[in-house]
Copies of this chain bind each other. A is one copy, B any other.
C-alpha cells in the first residue's frame, strides 16, 4: 500500500483526487493538507465525502509529509509548487504537481505567459510532462517529479498528435476551438461572473486574446512535428459543470481519405486503454466520459475545404486533472496504469 498525501485538498481537483483515491486498491491517503482549513475534518467543508474515513486537514509541513507519505499530489494554485515542491523532493518524496508550474520546459516562456519569473527553473529539466499516451514510457523510470498536464492541453494534444505525426497537415494555423464545463475555473474563483445566475443558460468565449494553455499545447504538439507548430486556441464556457470538448481544425497539405486518417488514429492509440477512437461517422459527447478517465475521439476530412476535423472529449476533472494524475502515479509506482481509475462514464 502506497501512502499518498494531497496538498490543496479542498479545491475541486484536490477533492476529486480524494474521491478517486479512496477506491484505489494500492494507495492509501495518509495526509490532507489545506493551509486555510487545517484542523478540520474535510467533511465539514465537503459533504459529498461523508462516509469516507479520511485524515483531518493539516497545515503544510514538508517534514511531516515526508514522515507520512511516499508520494504527494500538489493541487494548489499556480506558484505554490515551484515554491514548495523542491522541499518535498529533497526529502525523498515523489511529487505529482497538478498546477502549471512545471509544464513548460522554457522558463522564459513561463514568465511570458504567466507573468512571473519561475523560481525553481533548475527542476524543469527533470520534471516529466506526464501525458501518458504521448509521453515515452521510459520517461517515468526514475522520475521523481511529474508535471500533470492542463485540461485543454490534454484534450487538444490527444486530438492532434497523431495528425501531426502523420505529416499531412499544415502545423501553422491550427485552430482549436475548445468548450469546457465551469469546474475548470476551480472553487476559489468567487466573483459575480461565476455565479450560477450569470452562467446558467449562457454560453460564451473567454481568454480569447491570450490563454495560458496555448504554449503548453504547442509544446506538446511540437514533439510530433518537424515544422513549427502554431495554434489559435479559443476556449469557451459551457453551462455545465464537467467536460471538455475540443474541436480541432487543420488545413491539409494534400488530399487524404477520412478512412486513411482514421486508420492512423486507430493504430496510434491501439494499446491505450483510456483512448477510444470512435468509428468513422461517430463523434463523442462529453457526457460519455463524465467521471471517466477516457478520452474519446471522432474525426473526419472536409473535402470541400481540405480540412481535417478532429473532436475529442474528456472529463476535465478526471482525465483533465485528478484521474490523469493517478494514472501518472500508477506509472511512477510501476502499477498497471488503469488501476483504480473508472473506464465507464456516468450517464445519464
Contact = CB atoms under 8 A, between A and B. Distances in A.
Contact of A194 (B23, B196, B230, B343): B196
A289 interface: yes
Given A292-B48, A307-B232, A346-B346, A182 B205 contact: no
A243 B328 CA distance: 33
Interface in A329-348: 342-348
7 contacts: A177-B177, A189-B195, A190-B190, A196-B196, A196-B198, A204-B284, A209-B281
A202 B291 contact: no
Contacts of A343: 22, 50-52
Given A48-B345, A208-B298, A232-B302, 7 more contacts: A48-B288, A51-B273, A51-B292, A181-B203, A203-B286, A232-B307, A241-B348
Interface in A280-304: 281-292, 294, 296, 298, 300, 302, 304
B183 A240 contact: no
Given A230-B305, A242-B348, A245-B203, A197 B48 contact: no
B247 A236 contact: yes
A243 B274 CA distance: 28
A348 B198 contact: yes
Contacts of A49: 344-345
Contacts of A251: 173
A90 interface: no
Interface residues of A, number: 92
Nearest to A49: B344
A309 interface: yes
A83 interface: no
Contact of A307 (B175, B296, B304, B317): B175
A118 interface: no
A173 B251 CA distance: 8
A232 B238 CA distance: 22
Contact of A190 (B47, B195, B284): B195
Interface in A190-242: 190-192, 194-206, 208-209, 230-232, 234, 236, 238-242
Contacts of A298: 205, 208
* Top 10 A-B residue pairs of the complex, sorted by shortest distance between their CB atoms: A48-B345, A204-B285, A202-B287, A48-B347, A197-B348, A177-B177, A51-B343, A196-B199, A232-B305, A48-B288
B47 A288 contact: yes
Contact of A203 (B23, B192, B285): B285
A187 to B, nearest CB: 7
B187 A195 contact: yes
